[in-house]
Chain A
Amino acid sequence: MTKPTDFGAVLERLEKIVRQLESEDLDLDGALKLFEEGVERLREARDRLAAAELKVKQVLTDQAGRVRLDDVDG
């Protein structure tokens, strides 16, 4: 499975892993593999949710009509 990039996809995958681990009759190897991926997704999800500073940018156009993004001080 390719690494999901979007938080929604990470969360969805994690939820699916948990459900599988809880309900499906997997052999121990398979369960372990799922668990391993689950831990990875969990870490990813928590990283995404870690407190971050909101980035604010101002959208401007120059004289040629090109779009420019300027940082704004929060």
Chain B
Amino acid sequence: MGRGLSLDLGAAVSAEGAWTVGQVTRRARAVIEAGLPPLWVRGEITGFKAWRSGHWYFSLRDETAQVRCVMFQSDNRGLSVPPTEGAQVFVLARPTVYDAKGDFQLTVHELLSTEAGGLWQVALEKAKAALAKDGLLDPTRKRALPSFPRRIAMITSLDGAALRDVMAVLARRWPAAELLVLPTKVQGENAAAAVRAALALLGRLEGVDVAIVGRGGGGKEDLWAFNDERLARAVAAAPVPIISAVGHETDVTLCDLVADVRAATPSAAAEAATPDRIELLGHVDHLGMRLARGLSGRSDRARERLARSGDRLTAALERRVERLGHRVAELAGRLDALSPLKVLERGYAVARDADGRVLRRVVQFTPGLAFRLRVADGEVPAKVRES
């Protein structure tokens, strides 16, 4: 009985009838190489390893299977960068058996990274195109954020750092606001649906001026929830302006694209949502000073006019101006009580730029900058020396 592929129990147990390991792997290789010509295979890179010899070893996988691959240095030297773990690629490969290990494997001759990075990227691009087609990515539909929000909503997880960060910024910049937290899952299974539910709840709240959708830290794969097309549509349809703070520095999610404002971090989102209380106080104080100056300018002019007129009405008018003078003094007293002049009296000074903004950091004093220094009894024009 000759050697064949038919089962021969008698041959199998005799020393001369049994196949050697080498024989069977070589035979398998011959069958596979003859039966499967070089072909293009699509899959995801996993377990990539570049050896010192320059050869690349990795596996390709899809949802149901995986196969080992080798790409020799002579074939891969034309590629500028090795593929990244998880990348979706096309390879031109020859199926074979690696005798020494008995492994079925692909000898890869060519490797193409799908242009935008992978199948999920293709799905993402498709969703993006659908959103664009409906005009949801149009920059003109982005809503302006309110200047002085009273109620700020935040959709996030209760135990994440994002909420703590936002609370810290709001407490510092705009504590007059009320923060409404809509707790939700922001990563893992069903996170997209959970955030959508929170957005629906947001629509039922009254008086919310702006909302932040946020998450802190976390891996790139955790961003997936925010690439959900239905969630992106819910963000676009939200009744109030939405600040998205879910992305990575480098990865922009669909939510980021449809949101009215994209912030790099939850803290940045909170800053974008609020004015700075201290800065506004400076502005208001400045208005107070202008108010007082405006009135004193008026009464000086009235007094001058009176002095010039010098007729018999003078006495009556003088009495009236006198009365007004008392009233001014009284009001000025109230103004004084509100004013930072009391602090200035102690020797402090406030620096302001041409727009009246308070300058409080060294970096704000750029070389050559003209500014005004407010001291207790007036203002002094000043200039930063040119470097």
Contacts and interface: CB of A to CB of B under 8 A. Distances in A.
9 contacts: A8-B148, A22-B290, A35-B291, A35-B294, A38-B291, A39-B331, A39-B335, A46-B281, A67-B201
B382 to A, nearest CB: 22
B181 interface: yes
Contacts of B302: 27-28
Contact of B295 (A6, A21, A56, A69): A21
Contacts, number: 119
B291 A7 contact: no
Contacts of B298: 21, 26, 28, 31
Given A7-B148, A11-B284, A54-B167, A35 B179 contact: no
Chain B interface size range: 35 or more
State the main secondary structure of chain A at its contact with B: helix
B112 interface: no
Q: What bracket does the count of chain A residues touching chain B fall in? A: 35 or more
B213 to A, nearest CB: 14
Contacts of B334: 39, 43
Interface in A1-41: 6-8, 11, 14-15, 17-18, 21-22, 26-29, 31-32, 35-36, 38-39
B178 A57 contact: yes
Contact of B201 (A11, A42, A61): A61
A59 B291 contact: no
A71 B321 CA distance: 55
Contacts of A56: 167, 178-179, 181
A33 to B, nearest CB: 10
Interface in B325-339: 327-328, 331, 334-335, 338
B175 A18 contact: no
Nearest to B158: A58
A51 interface: yes
